[in-house]
A and B are shown apart, each in its own frame.
Chain A
Amino acid sequence: MSKPKRLGVSILAVLLALSIALTGCGSKSTETKATDSTQSTAKEILIGSIHPMTGSMAYEGTAITNAEQIAVEAINAAGGIKSLGGAKIKLLVGDSQGLPDKAASEAQRLIREGAVALTGTYTSSSAVTATQEAEKVQVPFVITVAATTNIMQRGFKYSFRIQPNADAFCEDFLSYMKALKTPDIKTVALVHENSLFGTYFADYVKKNIDKAGLTVIGTIPYAANTGTLDSEVTKLSGLKPDLVVGTGYYQDQSLLMKTIKSRNLKFKGIVGIANGAFSDPKLIKDLGQDAEGIMDVNYRWNPKNSKTDQVLKNYQTKFNATMSSHAMYGYTAIQVIADALERAKSTDKVQLRDALASTNFTNHILPQGAIKFDDKGENINAAAVLLQIQNGKQVIVYPEQFAQAKPIFPTPK
């Protein structure tokens, strides 16, 4: 190769290597202003968001960030934070890539860039690390989505969680099943992804299944990133449980449903717990008629609240998609932080933290009473609801005060 060509190639190789290294070091946030002050200015308050914007969970992470954006715009349009002179909120978008160490480095970066509070992270493992970073420097962190209970049991004073934690989910599942099951429903098979998320839920349900008056006859773990679930479904067809209970992410649980339906297997009920697929409207597009009847114990917006429609419509207009339940927590997290800012009348981290701790927020679209945090930072009134896919839509079927339809359970023959 000639000298100039070799030089050109070396430069090309170095550039490529650099770009690989840089993409590995966290991404550029889409809306960041170069500020050399370490505090938000009085006119603009920065709130950080740490979710997977790239990688296999980019779909969910982007949805949550989108909803946060809508909340920010709504609050700014209504006059911003009035107790701080009408200061506007600005969202700093970070990308965790779904990785715990990236989530931590993004937390550090956003704090450096002046965020007064952080939100995140969609996966429990990322929440553990990101909240730790925030706690180190006493920056309040409001968790949008992250389920495992251990996150809030480390004695942190600056972490708050709005969604129901894993234990609350499982308790709701058990009590809803107890209330709704018919005498011919006795056995359960658990099919779960085998990381911390799925395993925790499966273990809790197995240990406490008596509360629902059922028995677990099989537990089938699998790796979330698998290309096939054939053997798992073969096991299910051998076990012949009354109920199939699934916990996992979108790709794997929808693959599970596809495989079950392709073999024409019928069960008395298919119920998810915090299932990444069953409550997602995309499942109906992917499975079509086969999605009918699938249930999920999950969080959802309150359909009986008049404000809900407005938020859903905003999201639909701006992003041309239905807002997901995860995204709802993005919206709510921003609302809660804004409310705390109003009461704190300051962006000082200790005062903001104290304001968050004494939250008593009712202007939300969740199916629960007021948002109040206990001494661990958990939302004491957090609750999941039971959803079912009926006539091509997910509707709430239990508890009755939020129900949009009656549950069809067990599956009719």
Chain B
Amino acid sequence: MTGVAILQATVDGLLMGGVYAVTAVGLTLIFGVMEIVNFAHGALMMLGMYITYWLCTLFGINPYLTIPISVVVLFSIGFLIQRYLLNQIIKAPQHNQLLLTLGIMLFIENLALFLWTPDTRSIQIPGLEKSIMLGELAINKPKLFAFVIALVVTVILYIILRKTTLGRAIRATSQEREGACLVGIKVRNINAVAFGIGAACAGVAGSIILPFFFASPTVGGVFLLRSFVVAILGGLGNFWGALVAGLIIGLSESLSGLFLSGSWNDLVIYGIFILVLFLRPTGLFGGGQVSGSH
């Protein structure tokens, strides 16, 4: 392997890692606050993709400018799902809630299949097709933007959680639900808001992935398992953890693809996953509650 190839794989891995991080950040938030494993996360990301696709194709809007719309729409969908579906069974055993999110995923995916056909969709933005060349090193532009936006999203989430009253309420609810209730926090609404934020993150992920990938009703499945691995590896509830874990997973995938072969990627990723959990069962930065700190 030449030095350039290794450098290329490192860059690719880090960029992709940022993408994995942003898909995991929403998951980790939802789990941290409500201890719900959200199987519908990939499907919500798919919706974000389609929103960007339709706005871009029908109205010619730059895909990155559709992110705010994606955020608003997915936040609303997430809020409604939590408030009127998941909230009903919040006191039920974990596996019931899990099953419900699975059902929601199936519903959303098949609704998408019905509305938009199984066609894979992609967008072409002139100027974004070619990579930036630094000598022999190619930096993929859409992935670079995705990486930057991933960082921005993580920072924004940090600010919300640490510096705002809402953030404090969310953290309180995740630490001690009954206590939060006692001090007057409307836990039901907080849960819905947190789920909404998580869904909005999925929406952002979808919007920034579309420029370099494809949208299809089942595209959520491509990223869902990686998101879970990244979220758990980083410690459920900790989104700096999700960022770091995303980079680790992205790098592992990229380097194993270079030195071994693509077929080994999953083996390597899950191997690392199992190893880390063996040494630190709560994940790299885990503590079981929503936290913006290391």
- Residues of A near any B CB (own CB < 8 A): 1, 5, 9, 12-13, 16-17, 19-20, 23, 54-59, 62, 194, 220-223, 225-232, 234-235, 237-238, 250-251, 254-255, 258-259, 261-264, 282, 286, 288, 290
Q: Are A282 and B120 neighbours in the complex by a CB distance under 8 Å?
A: yes
> Which residue in chain A gives the minimum CB-CB distance to B85?
A12
The CA-CA distance from A19 to B111 in the complex, in Å, is 14
Interface residues in B58-116 (C-beta closer than 8 Å to A): 88-89, 91, 96, 99-100, 102-103, 106, 110, 113
Task: Identify B124's interface contact among A23, A54, A59, A288, CB under 8 A.
Answer: A288
Q: Which of B182-190, B211-219, B240-248 binds A?
A: B211-219
> Which residue in chain A gives the minimum CB-CB distance to B254?
A231
- Residues of B near any A CB (own CB < 8 A): 1-2, 5, 8-9, 12-13, 16, 19, 88-89, 91, 96, 99-100, 102-103, 106, 110, 113, 117-120, 122, 124, 129-131, 133, 138, 140-141, 212-214, 216-218, 221-223, 226, 253-258, 261-263, 265-266
Q: Are B258 and A235 neighbours in the complex by a CB distance under 8 Å?
A: yes
Q: Are A13 and B262 neighbours in the complex by a CB distance under 8 Å?
A: no
The CA-CA distance from A103 to B140 in the complex, in Å, is 40
The CA-CA distance from A264 to B122 in the complex, in Å, is 20
Task: Identify A12's interface contact among B88, B218, B253, B263, CB under 8 A.
Answer: B88
5 new A-B contacts, CB < 8 A, other than A223-B263, A230-B9, A237-B5, are: A20-B103, A56-B218, A222-B261, A228-B16, A230-B257
> Which residue in chain A gives the minimum CB-CB distance to B138?
A263
Q: Are A55 and B218 neighbours in the complex by a CB distance under 8 Å?
A: yes
Given contacts A56-B218, A58-B113, A290-B129, contact A221 B213 (CB under 8 A): no
Given contacts A9-B89, A263-B131, contact A220 B223 (CB under 8 A): no
CB neighbours (8 Å) of A259 from chain B are 140
18 A-B pairs in the complex with CB atoms less than 8 angstroms apart: A17-B103, A20-B102, A194-B263, A221-B262, A223-B263, A227-B16, A227-B222, A230-B9, A230-B140, A231-B255, A234-B12, A238-B2, A250-B120, A251-B214, A251-B216, A254-B214, A286-B120, A286-B122
Q: Are B213 and A230 neighbours in the complex by a CB distance under 8 Å?
A: no
Give chain B nearest CB distance to A5 CB in angstroms. Answer: 8
Q: Are A234 and B8 neighbours in the complex by a CB distance under 8 Å?
A: yes
Task: Identify B99's interface contact among A17, A23, A56, A286, CB under 8 A.
Answer: A17
Task: Identify A223's interface contact among B141, B217, B255, B265, CB under 8 A.
Answer: B265
How many cross-chain pairs have Cβ atoms below 8 Å apart between A and B? 138
The CA-CA distance from A282 to B67 in the complex, in Å, is 26
> Which residue in chain A gives the minimum CB-CB distance to B217?
A58
Q: Are A1 and B12 neighbours in the complex by a CB distance under 8 Å?
A: no
The CA-CA distance from A201 to B112 in the complex, in Å, is 34
Q: Are A262 and B263 neighbours in the complex by a CB distance under 8 Å?
A: no
Q: Are A264 and B131 neighbours in the complex by a CB distance under 8 Å?
A: yes
Give the dominant DSSP class at B's interface. helix
Q: Are A232 and B262 neighbours in the complex by a CB distance under 8 Å?
A: yes
Given contacts A23-B110, A223-B265, A290-B129, contact A59 B214 (CB under 8 A): no
CB neighbours (8 Å) of A226 from chain B are 222, 262, 265
The CA-CA distance from A16 to B103 in the complex, in Å, is 6
> Which residue in chain B gives the minimum CB-CB distance to A259?
B140
> Which residue in chain A gives the minimum CB-CB distance to B1?
A238
Q: Are A231 and B131 neighbours in the complex by a CB distance under 8 Å?
A: no
> Which residue in chain A gives the minimum CB-CB distance to B2?
A238
Q: Are B265 and A16 neighbours in the complex by a CB distance under 8 Å?
A: no
Given contacts A58-B113, A221-B262, A223-B262, contact A230 B254 (CB under 8 A): yes
The CA-CA distance from A226 to B88 in the complex, in Å, is 36
Q: Are A262 and B130 neighbours in the complex by a CB distance under 8 Å?
A: yes
Task: Identify A255's interface contact among B129, B213, B253, CB under 8 A.
Answer: B213
Given contacts A23-B110, A56-B216, A282-B119, contact A13 B99 (CB under 8 A): yes
Given contacts A16-B100, A226-B222, A251-B214, contact A231 B12 (CB under 8 A): yes
The CA-CA distance from A235 to B96 in the complex, in Å, is 46
Q: Are A264 and B133 neighbours in the complex by a CB distance under 8 Å?
A: yes
CB neighbours (8 Å) of A56 from chain B are 216, 218, 221
The CA-CA distance from A235 to B216 in the complex, in Å, is 28
The CA-CA distance from A226 to B16 in the complex, in Å, is 12
The CA-CA distance from A55 to B100 in the complex, in Å, is 20
Q: Are B120 and A59 neighbours in the complex by a CB distance under 8 Å?
A: yes
Q: Are A231 and B262 neighbours in the complex by a CB distance under 8 Å?
A: yes
